[in-house]
Amino acid sequence: MKWFLLLFFFSIPTYANPQGLAGWEQIPAWVVQILLFLVVVTVFLFLATRRLRREIAKKIAELRSNETKFRALFDNSAQLMGLLDRDGTLRASNFAALSLIGSTEEKVVGQKIWETPWWRHSIELQEELRQGIERADQGELVQFEATHVDHSGKSRVIDFYLTPVKNESGHVDFLISFGYDMTHLKEVEDRDRHLQKMEAIGTLAGGIAHDFNNILAAMFGYLDLAALEEHDNVNLHESHDEIRNAANRAKDLVSQILTFSRKGTADRSPVKLSSVVTEVMKLIRSSLPASITMDIRINSTDYIMANSTQIHQVIMNLCTNAWHAMETQNSGLLSVSLRHVSSAVDLQDLHPGLQEQEYVELRISDTGSGMDGSTAEKIFNPFYTTKEQGKGTGLGLSLVHTIITSHDGVISLQSKPGIGTIFTILFPKIDYIPDDEPVQKLSSIAPANNTVHVMIVDDESMIVKSSTRFLEHEGFTVTGFTDSVEALTAFEETPEKYSVVVSDMTMPFLDGVELLGAIKQISPSVPVILCSGFNQREQELREQMPQINRFLQKPIAMNQLVEEIRELMALPTEEIS
C-alpha cells in the first residue's frame, strides 16, 4: 500500500492538468498533489478502520466465548471456588460455594472474604485466613483445613487452598480460593477407624475369652464329677446348682465376646429371614407389657446366607433394647418390617460401599426415649452402655454390629430424643429354592462304652483330669495327655489301641489341627474331635479339613462329649474316613 501511494504521489504532475482543462493552469501542482493525497489517505484510513473494527469485533467475540467457557467451568465445578483481590476482597464466587451458605453472588461480592458467611462463625479461622492471604500475596501456596457451617447448620470439613496468580513479570495479580468438601471422606475414615478399634478390641477380647474358657471348662468338668458323687446331700446339690448357674452366665458372656471377636467363623446356610423374624416376635410378644403395641409387616420371603442363631440373636437384642427404651412410658409402639430392596442405588449415601445387588431390609423402630447425636455415635462401641450398672455389659449392640458386618450386611440408626429410634439393617439376598425332601440319616448301634478307648489331649491339666475321671465314670477307657507331641508319639506306637481322639485346638509346639491331621494320616478310620475356646479359622478348617469329624466349642459339658463320642462310634467306617 505505501509503495502504491508513493508512486501515485510522484506521478501526479504528469496528469495534473490533462488536455488543458480550463482553470487547472492557475492551480499550483503541489496543491493538486496534496488534495489527491488527502483523498487517497482518507480512503486508506476508511478501509484500515473497517478492517480494524472487524478484528476488534472478532477478538471481543473470542473473549466473550472464553469468558463464557471459564464461567461455565467456574460455576459448574463441584469444588468451592472464588476470585480475590490481593487484599482479600471477593470478586467472584461459584455456585458450589454459594449453595453451601445458601446465598447469592451479589450479597458477598465486594466484601473481605473473612467477613462473609463462610467464615463468620469462627474468629480463629478468620485470623488464619487473613494470615493466609498475606502469605499468598507474597506468592506462597496456602493450605489449611477449615470447618464451615452450611445453610442447614451442619458442619462441613473443607480442605481450603489459596493460590496466587502471577503476571508475566512475576508479580501477583489476584488470588484464587479452592475448597474441597472432605466431610464424606472424613465420615468414612471415622467409620474405618471405628471398625479398626472394634477389631483390635475384638482380638483382645477373644484372647481373654480363650483363657477364660479353659477355666470354665475345668469348672464344668469338676461340677459334673461332683454331681455324680454328691448322692443325696441336698445342701451340696443346691450349692452345685448355684455354681453351675454362675458358670453358665459366664459361659454366655464368653460366647458373646467370642461372637464379637471372630469374623465369619459360624456355620452359615440359606435362611428365610421372615421365618426368623416371626419366631422372635412370638417370643417377644409374650414378654412385652400390655402398654406396648406391636406392628409387624413382613413383605419379603427372601433368603439370606446366614447363621440363623446369630440372626435370631440380632433381632432379639434390638427388640429388647426397643422395649427397654419404652419401659418407663405409659404406651409405646414397637414396629418391625421386612421388605425386598431391588437396588441399592438410592441407599449409597446412607450406606457407603453397598454393592449393586438385591438386599433384604429389616427395620426395627420404637417410640421410646431416643438418643442424642453423641450417644448415637458411640452406641456400637464395645462395652458402651446407657443402662444402669449391673443391667448390661455393653456388648449388645457391638455384638449386633459384628454379626451383621460378618454377614456382609450393614446397619444404620436414626434417633431423636423423646421421639424414638429406627434401626435399619440390609442383608444381601441370595437365590435359593428350598429342598423339601426329608434327609435320610444312617443309624447304627454304638459299641459298649467299656470297649471304647478315648485319647484326651489338652495343655490344661485340669481339663485332662476332669475329662478323664468323668469318661472313666461313664465306662470308657481313657488316656490323657497334656503334651501334643507326646500324644502323637503314643498314637504312632499303637494306633489300634485308640477308638477316638479328642484334642484341644490351641497348644504349644503341635496344635490340634496338626495333631489330628497326622493321626488321620496314620489311621483314617479313627474318629477325631477338635475342641476350641477361640478360633477364627474354624469355618476355614471345616471346609479345608473335612476329615475332622466334629468341632466342639468350649466349655464343653461332659454329657455332650459323651454323646458326641457315642454318635461317632455308631457311624459307619466310610463316614469317618
Looking up residue 277, the CATH number of its domain turns out to be 3.30.565.10
Domain boundary among 162, 181, 200: 181
**Does residue 350 fall inside a structural domain?**
yes
Give the Cα separation of 141 and 499 in Å (integer): 78
Averaged pLDDT, 264-292: 80
Number of domains into which the chain is organized: 5
**Does residue 369 fall inside a structural domain?**
yes
pLDDT in tens, 391-404: 444 456 777 888 88
Residues in CB range of 90: below 8 A, 6 or more apart: 82, 83, 84, 108, 109, 110, 111, 112, 113, 116
177 and 191 inside one domain: no
154 and 255 inside one domain: no
Residue 437 has pLDDT above 90, yes or no: no
196 and 155 inside one domain: no
Contact 171, 198 (CB under 8 A): no
Cα separation values, 156 from 78, 145, 147, 372, 471, Å: 15, 10, 6, 19, 66
CATH number of the domain that residue 469 is part of: 3.40.50.2300
275 and 347 inside one domain: yes
pTM over 0.85: no
**21 conformational bin, left if phi > 0, alpha if psi -120 to 50, beta if neither:** beta
Arithmetic mean of pLDDT over the chain: 78
281 and 381 inside one domain: yes
**Does residue 433 fall inside a structural domain?**
no
Averaged pLDDT, 216-224: 69
pLDDT at res. 222: 67
Residue 4 has pLDDT above 50, yes or no: no
397 and 474 inside one domain: no
- Percent of the chain topping pLDDT 70: 71
pLDDT in tens, 280-321: 888 788 777 778 889 999 999 999 998 887 888 889 889 888
**Beta strand pairing call for 172-181 and 155-166:** antiparallel
pLDDT at res. 425: 92
Q: Which residue has the higher pLDDT, 143 or 40?
A: 143
Residue 327 has pLDDT above 60, yes or no: yes
Phi/psi at 295 (5° precision): -125, 105
Domain of 459, in residue numbers? 449-576
196 and 322 inside one domain: no
Instruction: Kindly indicate the confidence band of residue 509, based on its pLDDT and cuts at 50, 70 and 90.
Output: confident
Averaged pLDDT, 62-67: 71
Q: Which residue has the higher pLDDT, 99 or 354?
A: 99
How far does CA 45 lie from the centroid of its chain? 75
388 and 402 inside one domain: yes
Give the Cα separation of 542 and 481 in Å (integer): 25
User: Which three three-digit cell numbers place residue 229?
Assistant: 458323687
pLDDT in tens, 195-218: 666 666 555 565 566 666 666 776
pLDDT at res. 441: 45
310 and 454 inside one domain: no
pLDDT at res. 249: 60
Residues in CB range of 431: below 8 A, 6 or more apart: 303
98 and 199 inside one domain: no
**H-only helix segments in 407-532:** 461-473, 484-493, 512-522
Domain boundary among 261, 295, 313: 261
**Does residue 443 fall inside a structural domain?**
no
Residue written as cell 485340669?
Answer: 462
**Does residue 435 fall inside a structural domain?**
no
pLDDT at res. 455: 96
Domain boundary among 134, 165, 181: 181
301 and 385 inside one domain: yes
Residue written as cell 446356610?
Answer: 269
**Does residue 304 fall inside a structural domain?**
yes
**CB atoms inside a 10 Å sphere around CB 313:** 19
**Does residue 318 fall inside a structural domain?**
yes
pLDDT in tens, 128-165: 999 999 999 998 999 998 888 787 777 888 889 998 98
DSSP string, 327-378: TTSS-EEEEEEEEEES--GGGTTTSTT--SS-EEEEEEEE-S----HHHHHH
Residue 487 has pLDDT above 90, yes or no: yes
339 and 460 inside one domain: no
User: Which three three-digit cell numbers place residue 296?
Assistant: 409387624
Give the Cα separation of 493 and 216 in Å (integer): 33
**Does residue 103 fall inside a structural domain?**
yes
